[in-house]
Structure 1
Amino acid sequence: MARILIAGESWMTTSTHVKGVDEFTVHSYVEGVGPLRDALTARGHHVVHLPAHRVPTEFPGDAESLGGYDLVVLSDIGANSIQLSPGVFERGEPGPDRLAALRDWVDGGGAVLMIGGYLSFSGFQARAAFRQTVLADVLPVEMLAEDDRVECPAGAVPLVVDAAHAALGGAGTAWPPLLGYNRVVARDGAEVPALINGDPLVALAPYGSGRAAAFTSDCSPHWAPVAFCEQWPGYADLFDGLVRWLVRA
């Protein structure tokens, strides 16, 4: 079974409550990794979750630390959080380019999966900013220079064009609607076994001796509604299939 690092899929929220002339602020912490982590763990994979607020200080920065995993999953976590450690961002101290380390690790036989979200691919107002990094060469898709989100509040039904592809894990062709995704363009030679609104939903390609994949919608709400990530039996099949294709299991 695969050893998987999932980076991201958590967030903090600050709300200001105004009641007459008084106001107060409350904060909350939420993890959206549950459906994906639970699905992969149930299939026997070993999953380590690195929440978004810990990514700047703890994301692996060299081949040795990355070597403890078979697959790195980036889910709703921007390039800045990975590249800008506190030493670099706060103190102006040179440090390793952790995206370059990830690229080299994949080139040497590792695997990476990017899952969509407001801080994936280009993302909200292009703030995810992966298009300007070395990881852009690794992913099986080309990213837009602008905000790449496509919101589908009424739901968009995925179109499976190659149900037999191993990366889909036998999830079948009847997928529940999704509520949005990141618009990308498939690279020449990339395999695209599933589409959404005519755009890539699942894209796959080798990179050096390793493999890379993109799932351009979400693995949890809001783009992945409960019908997709909790009630659909194919959810676990799909992500288990992606993992197994990526690590050649």
Structure 2
Amino acid sequence: MSRVLIAGESWVTQTTHIKGVDSFSLHSYTEGVGPLRDALTAAGHTLTHLPAHLVPQRFPDDDTALADYDLVILSDIGANSIQLAPRVTDHSERGHDRLANLATWVAGGGALLMVGGYLSFTGFEGKAAFRQSPLEPVLPVEMLGEDDRVELPAGATPAVLQEGHPAVGGAGTQWPHLLGYNRVRTRPGATTLAEIAGDPLLVVGEHGRGRTAAFTSDCSPHWAPPEFCESWEGYRSLFDGLVRWLTG
């Protein structure tokens, strides 16, 4: 079974309550990694979750640190959080270019999966910022130069193009609806396994001696509703198949 690092899939929310002339703020912490974590651990994989607020401090710096894993999953975590460690931003010290090192690790035989979200691919208002980063040529998709989110409040059902591909994991062709995704283009030489609203949803490819994949919607709410990530039996099969193909 595979050793998987998933970075991201958590957030802190701040709300301000205004009552007359008085106000106060409340803060909450939420993790969205649950459905993916549970699916992969149930399939026998070992999962390490690095929450978003710890990514700048603790994301693996180099090949030695990345060697602890077979697969890295980036889910709703922007390029800046990975690339800009506190020693660089706070102390103006030279450090590791962790995106460049991740790209080198994949080319040497590692595996990478990017899952969609507001801070994936190009992202909300371009803030995910993976386009023109060292990781761009590694991914099996080409990213847009502007906000790439496609919101589907009425829902859209994915179309599976290659049901028999091992990365689909035997999840079948009847997938539940999704509520949004990041719009990308399939890179030449990569393979689109599923589409949504006519755009790539699941794309796989190779980079050097490594394998990469892009799932352009979410692995948890809000783009992935409970019908997709909780009650659908194919969810575990899909992501287990992806992990097995990527690390195969």
Which of the five TM-score ranges fits, normalised by the shorter chain? over 0.9
Question: Tell me, which stretches of 5 or more residues in structure 2 are unaligned?
Answer: none
**What does residue 82 of structure 2 align with?**
82
Runs of 4+ in structure 1 off by over 4 angstroms are none
**What does residue 93 of structure 1 align with?**
93
**What does residue 44 of structure 1 align with?**
44
Residue 189 of structure 1 and its aligned partner are, at CA, apart by 1.1
**What does residue 120 of structure 2 align with?**
120
* TM-align CA RMSD: 0.5
- Distance in 1 separating the partners of 2:60 and 2:228: 31
Residue aligned with 1:134, SS: coil
**What does residue 174 of structure 2 align with?**
174
Residue aligned with 2:69, SS: coil
- Distance in 2 separating the partners of 1:156 and 1:182: 14
User: Given the alignment of the two structures, is residue 190 of structure 1 paired with residue 190 of structure 2, yes or no?
Assistant: yes
Q: Per-residue CA shift, 1:122-168, capped at 9, x if unaligned?
A: 00000000002110010000000000000000001000011111000
User: Given the alignment of the two structures, is residue 14 of structure 1 paired with residue 14 of structure 2, yes or no?
Assistant: yes
Residue 93 of structure 1 and its aligned partner are, at CA, apart by 1.1
- Distance in 1 separating the partners of 2:14 and 2:215: 29
**What does residue 35 of structure 1 align with?**
35
- Distance in 1 separating the partners of 2:198 and 2:134: 27
Residue 192 of structure 1 and its aligned partner are, at CA, apart by 0.5
Q: Per-residue CA shift, 1:11-57, capped at 9, x if unaligned?
A: 00000001122111000000000000000000000000000000000
Residue 94 of structure 1 and its aligned partner are, at CA, apart by 1.2
- Distance in 1 separating the partners of 2:67 and 2:208: 16
- Distance in 1 separating the partners of 2:16 and 2:215: 34
- Distance in 2 separating the partners of 1:132 and 1:125: 15
**What does residue 133 of structure 1 align with?**
133
AA in 1 matched with 2:237 = D
- Distance in 1 separating the partners of 2:58 and 2:66: 11
- Distance in 1 separating the partners of 2:21 and 2:119: 36
Q: TM-score, normalised by structure 2?
A: 0.99
- Distance in 2 separating the partners of 1:20 and 1:42: 50
Q: TM-score, normalised by structure 1?
A: 0.99
Residue aligned with 1:228, SS: helix
Q: Work out the percentage of aligned pairs sharing the same amino acid.
A: 67
Residue aligned with 1:91, SS: coil
Residue aligned with 2:239, SS: helix
**What does residue 153 of structure 1 align with?**
153
- Distance in 2 separating the partners of 1:223 and 1:158: 13
User: Given the alignment of the two structures, is residue 62 of structure 1 paired with residue 62 of structure 2, yes or no?
Assistant: yes
Query: Number of matched residues?
Result: 248
**What does residue 233 of structure 1 align with?**
233
